[in-house]
């Protein structure tokens, strides 16, 4: 198993990603044949209602996480909410289990570029937006 620090975490809801301000977070690559990952985030307890309805269901959430360094590109995951627990210091621990989505960087770059061109961007404006979006990784409908 390999363990990494979570720098940011967001979940796709209502046609956009909602970012959850982390107080702390960890991600574990279980290095199993199922390619499973465990993510634990610590957030303000006010976010409990965003996740408690998913406990005990098979609802898969689309999530993105930045791992290890704030400037890393977000990694895409498909996760299930496994557990919610209030910590002694008043935070909420949310445990997820899931798999890494395997769209590689080149595929995403090609989709992003095609999308930006279809919006009419050209030249320096296209390059600037492409560089920005490659870091931010907005969701693109293929």
Chain segment 42-85, per-residue pLDDT in tens: 999 999 999 999 998 999 999 999 999 988 888 889 999 999 99
**Token pair recorded at residue 59:** 């609802």
Give per-residue pLDDT as tens, 7-44. Answer: 999 999 888 899 999 999 999 998 877 779 999 999 99
Protein fold of 2-100: Thrombin, subunit H (2.40.10)
Domain ranges of the chain: 2-100, 105-136
Per-residue confidence (pLDDT) for residue 105, from 0 to 100: 62
The residues near 90 (Cβ < 8 Å, ≥ 6 apart) are 45
């Amino acid at each position: 198993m390999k363990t990494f620090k979570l720098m940011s975490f967001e979940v796709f809801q209502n046609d956009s990603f909602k970012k959850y301000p982390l107080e702390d977070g960890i991600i574990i690559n279980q290095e199993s044949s199922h390619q499973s990952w465990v993510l634990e985030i610590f957030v303000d307890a006010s976010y409990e209602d965003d996740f408690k309805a998913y406990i005990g269901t098979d609802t898969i959430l689309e999530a993105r996480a930045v791992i290890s360094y704030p400037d890393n590109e977000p990694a895409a995951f498909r996760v299930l909410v496994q557990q919610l627990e209030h910590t002694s210091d008043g935070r909420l621990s949310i445990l997820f289990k899931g798999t890494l989505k395997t769209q590689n960087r080149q595929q995403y770059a090609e989709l992003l570029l095609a999308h930006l061109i279809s919006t009419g961007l050209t030249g320096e404006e296209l390059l600037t937006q492409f560089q920005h979006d490659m870091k931010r990784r907005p969701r693109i409908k293929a």
